[in-house]
Amino acid sequence: MKRIPYILLCLCCLHLRAQRNYVYDTERVRSLQLIVGSDPLLPPVLRMGSRGQAELSFDIMGHDYHRLLYRICHCPWDWGEQAEESLFESDYLSGLNGQPIDDYDTSFNTSQLYTHYSLTLPNEDTRLLLSGNYRVEVFDEDDYGERDATPLLKAEFCVAETAMSVQAEVSPNTDIDFNASHQQLSYSVSYGSLPVTDPQRELHTIVRQNRRGDNAVVDLKPNIIKQAGIEFTHRRELIFNASNEFHKFETIDMHRPNLNVDHLRYREPYYYFTLFADQPPRTYTYDQDQNGAFILRNAEHDDEQLTSEYAWVTFTLRCEEQLPGGEVYVCGQWTNGDWDPLCLMRWDEELSQYTASVYLKQGYYSYQYRQLSADGTTGLTQLTEGDFSETENEYTVLVYYRRIGERYDRLVNYSTVNYR
């Protein structure tokens, strides 16, 4: 118990910024996804030189047509808001920004009217020329090009080389406890044929647990430097709260209860799904999950993007009393940011429970309850989910390289490892 604040302090000392998606127009934009290789369970990373593609998709509420334009930026390794200032657009992009999203269609026979948009990258008009971080911004046509115009949304993905090799492993036997509530990551990077003269300046790494941004470990410096590579071992900064398996539910059938659905009803013009209430567990129980991922689909039609309904889904977390500390949120990869205001849970004193209702498209969703830390940066699961070292978690290590004198940060490789 006394060790956790120290770990959080170590993490907060780092500049916590990692890949994520943003929705700015939350009234109109829903169901934002960026999928690589048609598999929503894969990290959003393309391999340089492969035939893989990234698909950005989202819904705009209503059937009114909006001409939407997209802009692609190459970003520095730390995902700074400004694009690489040392690069011209023609350095990283074959084609022109400001192109329209031409792949769109309206929903069919749904209570909630919406227009589904889809953009595939690279495509006939746009090719990505460099490895590294990319951000796609989508604007209404009238706003594109305006100074300080706010986009409807932003989505981020990576293009990776295989110029270096990355090896990673996870253990529940950490430097602060043994088979208890934490997991510790160790990893090494081999330079291969790339010249590295000053690894402290030329190399940067980002480590993510279950693709979260709030507890990412950013730009940790190696504790072992060799001629052929660097190593990160026995680092307290790489000790993660193990959390617990994600909860899950399905809303693929609008006529009968689905997985983890207590009851459903239709009250014009909305469908309502109420999930079975969750409780903070006292012990660990294994359950196969997808670490916060979501898959849009329904059981009645083949074209799930245009025929799926939207419904209000009510989440309930029952507690003996209101939890001490910060606010509680429903979290998953589908909440885009780590603290989506639409997913804030409200405490009901009379019923001794937290509740939140979120408007979601039909599909499979996995989720967790996380409590905001005192400094407002990190999601804690100790009181809402428990922390158990047996938990299956996914860890991703991304390695960036900019040789002294070069103009951009290359993503020279990445590695994903699962504990269990």
Burial class of residue 76, CB neighbours in 10 A (0-12, 13-18, 19+)? buried
Q: What percent of the chain has pLDDT over 70?
A: 96
Mean per-residue pLDDT, 345-353: 98
CB distance 71 to 134 below 8 Å: no
Q: Are 297 and 364 in contact (CB under 8 A)?
A: yes
Q: What is the pLDDT of residues 251-274, one digit of tens each?
A: 999 999 899 999 999 999 999 999
Which pLDDT score, from 0 to 100, does residue 158 have? 97
pLDDT at 148 over 90: no
Instruction: Look at residue 70 and tell me whether its pLDDT is greater than 60.
Output: yes
130, pLDDT greater than 80: yes
Question: What is the average pLDDT across 323-343?
Answer: 93
pLDDT digits (tens, 9 = 90+) for 76-118: 999 987 777 789 999 999 999 999 999 999 999 999 999 999 9
Q: Which of 105, 116, 108, 109 is nearest to 30 (CA)?
A: 116
Q: What confidence score (pLDDT) does residue 340 get?
A: 93
Distance CA 343, CA 294 (A): 15
- Say if pTM beats, i.e. exceeds, 0.75: yes
Taking all residues of the chain, what is their mean pLDDT, rounded to a whole number?
93
pLDDT per position as a tens digit, 179-233? 999 999 999 999 999 999 999 999 999 999 999 999 999 999 999 999 999 999 9
Do 21 and 32 form a contact (C-beta atoms < 8 A)?
yes
**Bridge partner list, 134:** 74, 157
Residue 296 contacts residue 304 (beta carbons within 8 Å)? yes
Alpha-carbon 307 to chain mean position: 26
CB 92 within 8 A of CB 60: no
Q: Whose CA is closest to 308, among 117, 164, 112, 15? A: 112
